[in-house]
């Protein structure tokens, strides 16, 4: 049987590369993920092998690569429902090839995985240790796909001995005209976003709100508290631990996941061995969630925001040096990307953007609740007169 695959330049880039590790960096709607899935399917059809396709969480797997995989197989006329094990997320082809869909938020699963080909979609979401565990168990090609939103400190940008291919919406001939127009409108609306999402280029952030450094590990120091920002479908639920040593705050990302309900959050907190007496400062807009977490055995509390709490919380944090644990990849990405808004005249305002700020908000909740008293009293002195 002969099968014709309509694909994009990404497919050709894979074939032309001589490197074992390939980075496929794309702007929005470049078609890179779809083409990489097509390549995996073609390889599975040609000879028996084990192919592993990875994203960080199960919900993201189901929403994206598994859905696209099935669409491609149906389009090619070769999808067989009986060959897909829905519980293990493994598709077995007639020749014995298997394509497995794996999430990395369960580290124990990674140690038993052996692959001939490894494809990690949205690789910027995966921590370096998970990548290492998967890569050392892969004998052949490693394909890494992501958008150019990662900071210069990310492990992906530090990698040597690999090929890097950049594709954009212009490389996807199957896009409708209205989608192309929406992307190209960014040239006037937001030139920086057009550079990243339109042209697929890394962009320096000269409007970053925080300066920070990266450390291999957090030294022994006082725990200030935990901060939690709630999300669900599109936004993640984010949890951060804030430690203090003098004028330095040491930050560790503990949770960053979409699709969590209250029970899931309580389970995650239990696995993190968080002391039930330690304060977890949460977004006060979700009183029911906070109460349910509290009843689940954790000291969840609503943060008191007050007038201009965002700007005030930022000003509190800017009085400290910030150091981030190296493995906190989402936290590093947010700190690097979090910036003040520019007005229509090109002037930088004192209002921060309302995106890529889930851990930023969680960190601010701790600052408002545990550090702001010092900020409010700064410059005030009590004297006794006899």
Task: Provide the pLDDT confidence category of residue 105 given band limits of 50, 70 and 90.
Answer: confident
pLDDT at 154 over 90: no
**High-pLDDT (> 70) share of the chain, %:** 95
Task: Provide the pLDDT confidence category of residue 375 given band limits of 50, 70 and 90.
Answer: very low
Give me the mean pLDDT over the 129-140 stretch: 95
Pick the closest to residue 272 from 317, 231, 237, 234 (CA basis).
237
CB distance 321 to 203 below 8 Å:
no
Q: What was the pLDDT predicted at 363?
A: 98
In the numeric block, which tokens belong to residue 363?
């960190």
Name the architecture of domain 9-198: 3-Layer(aba) Sandwich (3.40)
pLDDT at 205 over 80: no
pLDDT at 280 over 60: yes
Least confident of 165-174, 304-313, 322-331, 336-345: 336-345
Task: Provide the pLDDT confidence category of residue 248 given band limits of 50, 70 and 90.
Answer: very high
Task: Name, in order, each residue with C-beta under 8 angstroms of 351's C-beta and a sequence gap of 6 or more.
Answer: 311, 340, 341
State the chain's mean pLDDT as an integer. Answer: 91
Give me the mean pLDDT over the 48-71 stretch: 95
pLDDT at 374 over 60: no
CB distance 44 to 69 below 8 Å:
no
CB distance 105 to 57 below 8 Å:
yes
Give me the mean pLDDT over the 281-285 stretch: 95
Task: Provide the pLDDT confidence category of residue 376 given band limits of 50, 70 and 90.
Answer: very low
In the numeric block, which tokens belong to residue 199?
């042209």
Give me the mean pLDDT over the 257-276 stretch: 94
Distance CA 299, CA 279 (A): 5
Rounded to 5 degrees, what angle do the CA atoms 95, 98, 104 make?
175
Across 9-31, b (16+ Cβ under 10 Å) vs e yields bbbebbeebeeebbbbbbbbbbb
Task: Provide the pLDDT confidence category of residue 230 given band limits of 50, 70 and 90.
Answer: very high
Rounded to 5 degrees, what angle do the CA atoms 271, 277, 280 make?
70
pLDDT at 370 over 60: yes
Least confident of 124-133, 257-266, 335-344, 352-361: 335-344
* Region 213-372: CATH code: 3.30.420.280
pLDDT at 192 over 90: no
Where exactly are the structural domains of the chain?
9-198, 213-372
pLDDT at 189 over 80: yes
Three-state secondary structure of 121-188? ECHHHCCHHHHHHHHCCECCCEEEEECCCCCCCCHHHHCCCCEEEEECHHHCCCCCHHHHHHHHCHHH
Task: Provide the pLDDT confidence category of residue 168 given band limits of 50, 70 and 90.
Answer: very high
Q: What was the pLDDT predicted at 346?
A: 64
Distance CA 232, CA 228 (A): 13
CB distance 323 to 213 below 8 Å:
yes
Give me the mean pLDDT over the 338-346 stretch: 77
Task: Provide the pLDDT confidence category of residue 373 given band limits of 50, 70 and 90.
Answer: low
């Amino acid at each position: 049987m002969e099968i014709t695959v309509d694909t994009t330049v990404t497919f050709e880039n894979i074939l032309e590369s001589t490197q074992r590790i390939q980075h496929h960096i794309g702007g929005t709607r470049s078609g890179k993920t779809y083409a990489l899935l097509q390549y995996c399917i073609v390889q599975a059809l040609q000879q028996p092998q084990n192919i592993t396709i990875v994203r960080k969480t199960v919900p993201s797997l189901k929403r994206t690569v598994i859905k696209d995989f099935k669409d491609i197989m149906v389009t090619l006329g070769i999808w067989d429902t009986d060959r897909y094990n829905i519980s293990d997320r493994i598709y077995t082809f007639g020749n014995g090839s298997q394509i497995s869909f794996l999430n990395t938020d369960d580290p124990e699963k990674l140690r038993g995985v052996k692959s001939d080909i490894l494809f990690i979609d949205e690789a910027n979401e995966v921590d370096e240790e998970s990548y290492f565990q998967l890569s050392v168990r892969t004998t052949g090609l490693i394909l890494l796909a992501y958008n150019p939103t990662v900071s210069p400190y990310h492990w992906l940008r530090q990698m040597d001995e690999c090929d890097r291919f950049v594709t954009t919406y212009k490389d996807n001939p199957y896009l409708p005209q209205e989608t192309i127009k929406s992307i190209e409108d960014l040239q006037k609306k937001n030139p920086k976003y057009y550079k990243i999402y339109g042209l697929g280029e890394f962009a320096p952030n000269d409007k970053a709100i925080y300066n920070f450094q990266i450390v291999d590990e957090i030294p022994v120091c006082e725990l200030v508290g935990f901060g939690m920002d709630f999300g669900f479908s599109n936004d993640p639920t984010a949890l951060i631990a804030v430690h203090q040593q003098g004028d330095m705050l040491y930050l560790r990302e503990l949770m960053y996941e979409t699709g969590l309900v209250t029970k899931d959050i309580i389970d995650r907190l239990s696995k993190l061995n968080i002391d039930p007496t330690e304060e977890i400062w949460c977004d006060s807009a979700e009183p029911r969630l906070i109460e349910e977490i509290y009843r689940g055995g954790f000291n969840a509390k609503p943060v008191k925001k007050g007038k201009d709490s965002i700007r005030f919380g930022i000003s509190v944090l800017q009085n400290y040096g910030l150091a981030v644990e190296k493995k906190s990849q989402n936290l590093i990405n947010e700190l690097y990307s979090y910036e003040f808004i520019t007005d229509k005249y090109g002037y930088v305002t004192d209002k921060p953007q309302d995106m890529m700020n889930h851990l930023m908000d969680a960190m601010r909740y701790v600052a408002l609740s545990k550090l702001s008293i010092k900020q409010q009293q700064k410059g005030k002195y009590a004297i006794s007169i006899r």
